Structure 1
Amino acid sequence: MASEIWHARARARRRIGAASLAVAALTGSFVTAAVASATSTSSAGSSIAGTAPSWATSSADRGAVASGTSVDSTVYLQSKDQSGMAAYAKAVATPGNALYHHYLSASQYQARFGTTASQVTAVEAWLRSAGLRIVSANSHEVRVSGTAAQTEAAYGTSLREYSVKGKTYRAPSADAKVPSSVAADVLTIGGLTDMPTEMKPNDLVSTAKSEEQITGEKPTMTKSADGSYYVGQTPCSTYYGQAVDTNAPSLNGTTDNPYVICGYVPSQLRSAYGVFGGVSGRGVTVAIVDAYGSSDILSDADTYAVNHGDPAFRSGQFLDTETPADWTNQTACGGAAGWAPEEHIDVEAVHAMAPGATVHYYGANSCEDADLLASLQQIVDTHSADIVSNSWGEVVYSSTGNLATSVQASYDQVLMQAAIEGIEMNFSSGDCGAEIPTTGCGATDTSTEPQADWPSSSDWATSVGGTSVAIGKHGQVEWNTAWGTSIFLNAGTSWSDYGWYFGGGGGTSAVESQPWYQRGVVSNSLATTLPTGATTTSKMRVTPDVSMDADPYTGFLVGQTQTLPDGSTGYGESAWGGTSLASPLFAGLQADAMQLQGYEPIGFANPAIYARAGSPAYYDVTANGKGTKAYNDMPDSTGTGTEYAVDFGSTQILQATRGYDDVTGVGTPTVFYLWSHLRW
């Protein structure tokens, strides 16, 4: 359709917020019949599966929660047509379906699938009748507060204390129950356990941080021509193969290996992925969701862009939604300072790939699921973005307690709403391969078994995995390989094997069934073999879906105000990577694609991604390419530390193969990606 007409209509629709519709609905007349039918207790009601966590076992039971203990809980509400919503989300995203791209506005979604005022009123009435106090209510959730005794009576279960890995947490002894009269209105219940469910930013990989962790040597700082400081070891290569280490001993038969990349700049990444011809993502809005917020993000992003030949953000092109007065759990989550590198990577990477796109940053009030979900819900309720990048995740099976199925249901609900409205939701696949517990990063992530990360393994998420990419002198791609890194220390006349360090996340999910779009593309053996080696009778979801550059040793130069190596505070640039880079790079590339197709939304991208599997749009990354035989050296700048080398393609139990694989998905976009198809 004509881009101007469609775009004007789309923007008009976005001015109608579903949140305001919910408020209006809640001010309607009191529904007497609903109140009358909802006042029964939960003792003989319907169970809400997954509300009692798997770690709440009799052997771990340490006694009852004191009856007067204050307990806050949240009742998440179902769509008035849950099965119809799932069917529409599938249809609207599937090429060839009669409803393909027949997206609904936020108000149309609310009218057709959203929770009704009578549903909310009925749930509120039940909760009040049980003695709980309503804290807040909208068309997605009802938050309540009460004593442990009142909470137990309301949900028909007992609250107990359980010992998990030396700590004690509250949890229900059995799944919560709700009255039959409101069973169809309740999706799940949160807050009955006080074990925190905290997402981690996937920003743990910079060459400067790695240098210090591996060798104990502080990074150096070198003043660049533009006046800013490069933080990291030198020499390094500005393009692949530029600077060569001629003094190191032979490593597995290779000599004169290149030094690692200093960090690619925006023009190099745009060239590698075919962004040219005036394409900039202009007119498209990309949202970024992280926790908290950085006060210097806009000034740093502008400085970075100008330093590398790109325009700074125009007035109104960068939007920031955060509420510092409401920030919580900062100690557990790392606070604003801990999330600042993630925010800088995300914003600068999107702007690098789509310098004309509007970037809207959402800082959740903590790294806990409830707060991150609230930011995602805000985006879809107001349709404030076309594409969303999320560079955070958690393991499903953790030493501090497994991910609750109630949390999974809450994510799937908001992601399906996004699909119906034509909003693309991208999630990074993780930075620790298959999260093997015996690896350093697996232990840090509290993983108890090899597994795929969440929420990237949701059927309704686009999971973005990681590659290593060699970009040559003229912006051309020399090779791609799966991101996986082993470290080798220079012992003088030979190299010692330090071991596997990190790599792109992926694997077969143990909790999500195979989605329709993976059928016929993902092999049966992969879909039925878990990272643990166990096999399943049913085919399961496999991640990632697609991949982009993520290796910090072929990473992205990021600018940030920071504590510099000399102890001062100032702006510095260093190379970063991780699928925290891959997700915003892909989001920016998708913004370019959306501009090319006349601003028609891409929406849930997975069906179209898989429909193009095997086409020239993707580079099929395998374990036999040129990059898997390469090594790069990380210098010892001071002469007092240890030089080390990195390899490429060390992916452990995940394997890059011909066709779809659990390291890079269908592959990584080629220069033909934007131009081989002009409509998603």
Structure 2
Amino acid sequence: MLSTVVPSLRAQQTEAQQPPVRLHGEVDNSQMVPIPGSLHPLARPANDAGRLPQGTQLRNIHLFFSRTAAQDADLKQLIKDQQDPSTPLYHHWLTPEQYGARFGLADSDIAKVQQWLEQQGFSVDSVARGKSFIAFSGTAGQVEQAFSTQMHRYNVVWRGQTESHFAPSTALSVPAALAPVVLGVRDLDDFRPHSMMRHLGPQALAAQSQTPHLGAVQPAFTSGQTGNHFLAPGDIDVIYDVNALSKQGITGVGQTIAVMGQSAIVLSDIEAFQTAAGLTVKDPTETLVPNTGTATVVSGDEGESDLDLEWSGAMAPGATIEFVYTGNSQNNGVFDSTIYAVDNKIGQIISLSYGACEFDAGTYYQTFEITTSQAATQGQTILAAAGDSGSTSCYSSTSTDTLAQQEQLNVNYPASSQYVTGVGGTEFNEGTASGATQYWSANGTNDVITSALSYMPEVVWNDDSAGYIAAGGGGVSTIFTKPTWQTGVPGIPGDGHRDVPDLSLDSSNNHDPYLLCTSDQSNWDTQVNPPQASSCTNGFRDSTTGLLTVAGGTSFATPIVAGMLADINQKVNATSGQGLINPTLYQLAANSTTYASAFHDTIVGGNNCQVAGSSVCSGNAMTEYMSGTGYDLASGLGSIDLNSLAMAWPTTTGSTLIGTTTTITPSTVTPSVGQTVTFTIGVSSSTGSSIPTGTVSISVDSVAQTPTLTLSNGAATYQTSFITPGAHTVEASYSGDSTHATSNATASVNASVVSSGVGTFTMTASNITVVDGNRGFSTITITPAGGYSGNVLLNITPTGANANALASSACFQTTAIAVGATGSATGSFSVDTSAQNCINTNGQSRGKHGVSAVKPSTQQSSNNGNGRAPIAAATMLGGLLLAGFLGRKSRKLRGLAMVALLVSFGWALSGCGSSRGGGGYGYGGYGYGYGGTASNPPTGTYTLSVTGTDSKTSSITYTTTATLQINP
């Protein structure tokens, strides 16, 4: 019966459903309502450093959609069923598209939101495959205008260093007609989460001055120079019983661990670590999140990424390690990496070593919970670091937190999410003797890379010292209620709230710290003489000074657990992942026999603040939280014996098939519109000893393509072209066969329009009716002919007898339109009839005409048909000068270019007539306002000349007209 019931229920679960339509009224920008909780908790007036420049580019902003109450209830029930072996939905995971059909926003509602964003001048980058968000880009000025706020800078202090950040200074607002589906907007600030890595603490640094070559951040082994102990992968294999699995060939084969980052890396660091540890060199796959800027190495974050990749791969050398990271866009970070990994279903396991205390997370967690819950339905397990500040996770976060706030009991998010496994910290308690001991082998003249002899007793990690808190994060969530699965284990508090952590592993940065290899000099030891000059250029040592690179923190424990879970997944044939593992963890721990064999209960120590009499410790922080038998708020369920845990872990029903990995590689990731792209698809078995057969289904931008492809020797090819510019996603889904499991993979390309330089186009513009003082929009439709393709720039010019009245008191905003060789393209321009708004925008008044291209490029142009063409000419001249000179490595030439730009800009201003009025002063309506008031244009009918011109070939142009009706 079961075999007949399962397909039926799966069909119900996965069939394309359509979410209910929730938006019905017209969108009116004059009717705005605030988004609850949208003011960032760190954007505080006391730290305000002034207005952010209006032209600041903000990329990949995410507007998240809310779920209905019915969708929320359905989601929770599905996740519960997916983790219940007694239900036919056990471990039957959704694809992003299936998630969207069930829990996302209706297509028509998404279209309304997208249209509104585009009308505000934003460039829409993508719509989530899971229909949970829409991503867009624009300027700070556009954000201010669209969301009724102001963007400001803020000076804050992080661990003694002043940092400059930006964020909206007020709550955001959206049109009332859209408010029912808007949960929140992310990426309007650059308050990036910080990593949970800790460098050597005061004790280790003091010892370093007495003991040569104790060194900087490194994994544990026994030093051949000092006898001190550091942790290398081989040591963790012994201590936590990883070796017993690897001897069975269990190394994470068939699994992908997605490591989240916000910095580029240097692959030679990963290779150096693997070589020093005696591992096979195996590079991670790198995925730069689209629309987040260029790959850039960021000090501090680079070292975090290095250790995450090194240690997750060391625990699961057979797994694929995929590094998902953001570029140099200042408003994007590691949470955007996670959002991308989930929406594109990258990896069965996601390792996240970043977070923020719940107090500082404000209500921003709500949008990220959409992502964590989606991951659970797709079979993706998210592991997050529980933090390194003990029971007071807000300690030393930023200077915007008062001392009283820092001293409050608080936990880290997203480790506290009910859809995430939070990983805390322990510390080995095997004594402080160097060299040979009961637990460590002796040192000779050479370093002993694997020197641990057995499991070592553990206590809660707590390296607190005067003015310095370093301890495993844990405590009671102030946001989330107690999940139904967090029960059954002695010691779990009856507090009604989510408790963290769930698991803990060694994390000390003082006692037996971890080894790592990194080019990130912020992780090097520069406090000795001579200072560290490199990392891992002689084994784990700096070849010049002999120093090691070492550190600690729950940043190490998290990727190590990720690697261990990959091993478990292979062991139990969970080829497509296990989703939220917490129900299984607590169920296993609730069995006293299993708990005694698979877990190491930590019953000594606590994560309470231990700096007595210090200004950083007071009240409950001095006593909370202590370890105890079973679960406790300092170490969770304790650490694990991996082999015993894997033996006790339930085998996934129906997963006896051999796991497979599908890859899809495009011939180019940046094709031109209309260019043929060849996608090479490969399907391999996790054992490597068999060749998968069957078919591969292709979908392009979530639309299924026909026919399916038949594998030949595990490979197939697919060719297509893209008729619209922008990002496109191609997914290959392997069908499986009688012995091989299904798998899928995605590839992203970004198609751009190349100006053909030939042909023509025609253009229409819809008429505009607007109430005086408000903004209206005209839809532009461009139809190419004669092989034309390119980017069309728009210029709007008032004409007729009343043209001057409009030009001096209104402003226009246009968006360049990318036009492919086939089919029509649409865009829009706006007119704002509020004179005061026009003054406030960029600090400039009347007739401002900004052009920001949607897809391929961004250009600025100004022209209002009233003798102001020199402004545009000056801007073009300055742009040419800058483009010509800034590409060269010469400060003199850059200075010359700037002088030329200023001179040309001054010439343009002097070429315009001056005007006075209302107490303001400006040149031809383009000048800066200095107070006073401004009058809106008179009501009436105006004629607008709309000219479209190819961005490369100015002779290809077309002019049409639109009528603007301003009503009182």
Q: TM-score w.r.t. structure 2 length?
A: 0.51
Quick one: distance in 1 between partners of 2:23 and 2:216?
A: 64
Partner of 1:420: 377
Alpha-carbon shift at residue 184 of structure 1 (Å): 4.0
Match status 1:263 vs 2:230: yes
Partner of 2:222: 238
User: Which one of the candidate residues 275, 285, 293 is aligned to 1:319?
Assistant: 285
Deviations 1:137-164 (A, max 9, x none): 413224254675x756744x55486988
User: Which one of the candidate residues 455, 475, 489 is aligned to 1:507?
Assistant: 475
Quick one: distance in 2 between partners of 1:161 and 1:294?
A: 31
Does structure 2 retain, via aligned residues, the 8 Å contact 1:485–1:651?
no
Partner of 2:184: 188
Partner of 1:452: 411
Alpha-carbon shift at residue 269 of structure 1 (Å): 1.1
CA distance change for structure 1 residues 426 and 147 in 2, over 3 Å: closer, same or farther?
closer
Quick one: distance in 2 between partners of 1:304 and 1:92?
A: 38
User: Which one of the candidate residues 590, 593, 608 is aligned to 2:584?
Assistant: 608
Letter in 1 for 2:518: Q
Greater shift, 663-672 or 80-89, is seen at 80-89
Does structure 2 retain, via aligned residues, the 8 Å contact 1:472–1:478?
no
Alpha-carbon shift at residue 410 of structure 1 (Å): 1.9
Does structure 1 retain, via aligned residues, the 8 Å contact 2:264–2:327?
no
Does structure 2 retain, via aligned residues, the 8 Å contact 1:52–1:175?
yes
Alpha-carbon shift at residue 349 of structure 1 (Å): 1.2
CA distance change for structure 1 residues 123 and 597 in 2, over 3 Å: closer, same or farther?
same
Quick one: distance in 2 between partners of 1:162 and 1:558?
A: 35
CA distance change for structure 1 residues 60 and 581 in 2, over 3 Å: closer, same or farther?
closer
Quick one: distance in 2 between partners of 1:262 and 1:499?
A: 26
Once the two structures are superposed, the pairs formed by residues 391-540 of structure 1 within 5 Å of their partners are 391-397=353-359, 402-405=360-363, 407-435=364-392, 448=406, 449-469=408-428, 470=430, 471-473=439-441, 475-486=453-464, 501-521=469-489, 526=493, 528=495, 539-540=496-497
Does structure 1 retain, via aligned residues, the 8 Å contact 2:264–2:295?
no
Quick one: distance in 2 between partners of 1:655 and 1:183?
A: 45
Partner of 2:518: 560
Alpha-carbon shift at residue 591 of structure 1 (Å): 0.5
Partner of 1:660: 631
Does structure 1 retain, via aligned residues, the 8 Å contact 2:393–2:473?
no
Letter in 1 for 2:185: I
Quick one: distance in 1 between partners of 2:605 and 2:52?
A: 61
Deviations 1:76-125 (A, max 9, x none): 23458741334323432355455331211233323333344322211123
Letter in 1 for 2:375: A
Partner of 2:774: none
Alpha-carbon shift at residue 304 of structure 1 (Å): 2.7
CA distance change for structure 1 residues 574 and 161 in 2, over 3 Å: closer, same or farther?
closer
Using CA pairs under 8 Å that are at least 6 residues apart, name the structure with larger relative contact order, 1 or 2.
Answer: 1
CA distance change for structure 1 residues 168 and 300 in 2, over 3 Å: closer, same or farther?
closer
The sequence identity of aligned pairs, in percent, is: 23
Partner of 2:599: 618
Does structure 2 retain, via aligned residues, the 8 Å contact 1:124–1:134?
no
Letter in 2 for 1:75: L
Consecutive unaligned residues in structure 2, runs of 5 or more? 1-15, 158-163, 431-438, 442-451, 542-547, 609-620, 653-968
Deviations 1:610-652 (A, max 9, x none): 1122423211111279xx9xxxxxxxxxxxxxxxxxxxxx996
Quick one: distance in 2 between partners of 1:410 and 1:511?
A: 14
Partner of 2:98: 108
Letter in 1 for 2:316: A
Match status 1:77 vs 2:34: no
Quick one: distance in 1 between partners of 2:411 and 2:89?
A: 32
Alpha-carbon shift at residue 588 of structure 1 (Å): 0.7
Deviations 1:361-404 (A, max 9, x none): 1222369784323211222233221111111112233xxxx323
Does structure 2 retain, via aligned residues, the 8 Å contact 1:219–1:233?
no
Does structure 2 retain, via aligned residues, the 8 Å contact 1:617–1:673?
yes
Alpha-carbon shift at residue 265 of structure 1 (Å): 2.2
User: Which one of the candidate residues 35, 40, 51 is aligned to 1:48?
Assistant: 35
Once the two structures are superposed, the pairs formed by residues 224-235 of structure 1 within 5 Å of their partners are 231=215
Quick one: distance in 2 between partners of 1:279 and 1:177?
A: 52
Quick one: distance in 2 between partners of 1:676 and 1:199?
A: 36
Alpha-carbon shift at residue 303 of structure 1 (Å): 3.1
CA distance change for structure 1 residues 472 and 374 in 2, over 3 Å: closer, same or farther?
same
Match status 1:274 vs 2:241: yes
Does structure 2 retain, via aligned residues, the 8 Å contact 1:327–1:365?
yes
CA distance change for structure 1 residues 570 and 55 in 2, over 3 Å: closer, same or farther?
closer
CA distance change for structure 1 residues 465 and 368 in 2, over 3 Å: closer, same or farther?
farther
CA distance change for structure 1 residues 550 and 651 in 2, over 3 Å: closer, same or farther?
farther
Match status 1:673 vs 2:645: yes
Partner of 1:360: 322
* Greater gyration radius: 2
Letter in 2 for 1:506: G
Partner of 2:947: none
Aligned length, in residue pairs:
555
Alpha-carbon shift at residue 347 of structure 1 (Å): 1.6
Once the two structures are superposed, the pairs formed by residues 2-401 of structure 1 within 5 Å of their partners are 37-41=25-29, 43=31, 47-53=34-40, 74-78=62-66, 82-83=71-72, 84-94=74-84, 96-128=86-118, 131-139=120-128, 140-143=133-136, 145=138, 154-155=146-147, 157-159=148-150, 171=168, 173-174=170-171, 176-180=173-177, 182-190=178-186, 194=189, 196-206=190-200, 211-212=204-205, 214=206, 217=209, 220-221=212-213, 231=215, 238=222, 261-275=228-242, 276=244, 277-295=248-266, 297=267, 299-313=268-282, 318-322=284-288, 326-327=292-293, 336-365=298-327, 370-397=332-359
Letter in 1 for 2:65: L
Alpha-carbon shift at residue 63 of structure 1 (Å): 12
Letter in 2 for 1:424: T
Partner of 1:531: none
Quick one: distance in 2 between partners of 1:88 and 1:356?
A: 31
Greater shift, 71-80 or 104-113, is seen at 71-80
Quick one: distance in 2 between partners of 1:478 and 1:143?
A: 51
* Secondary structure of the corresponding residue to residue 188 of structure 1: strand
Alpha-carbon shift at residue 512 of structure 1 (Å): 2.1
CA distance change for structure 1 residues 217 and 141 in 2, over 3 Å: closer, same or farther?
farther
Greater shift, 356-365 or 514-523, is seen at 514-523
Quick one: distance in 2 between partners of 1:62 and 1:617?
A: 51
Partner of 1:575: 550
CA distance change for structure 1 residues 151 and 674 in 2, over 3 Å: closer, same or farther?
closer
Greater share of helix residues, 1 or 2? 1
Quick one: distance in 2 between partners of 1:404 and 1:659?
A: 32
Quick one: distance in 2 between partners of 1:282 and 1:360?
A: 14
Alpha-carbon shift at residue 268 of structure 1 (Å): 2.1
The two structures, once aligned, show a CA RMSD in angstroms of: 4.3
Alpha-carbon shift at residue 177 of structure 1 (Å): 4.1
Does structure 2 retain, via aligned residues, the 8 Å contact 1:38–1:122?
no
CA distance change for structure 1 residues 66 and 551 in 2, over 3 Å: closer, same or farther?
closer
* Secondary structure of the corresponding residue to residue 303 of structure 2: helix
* Secondary structure of the corresponding residue to residue 388 of structure 1: strand
CA distance change for structure 1 residues 164 and 518 in 2, over 3 Å: closer, same or farther?
farther
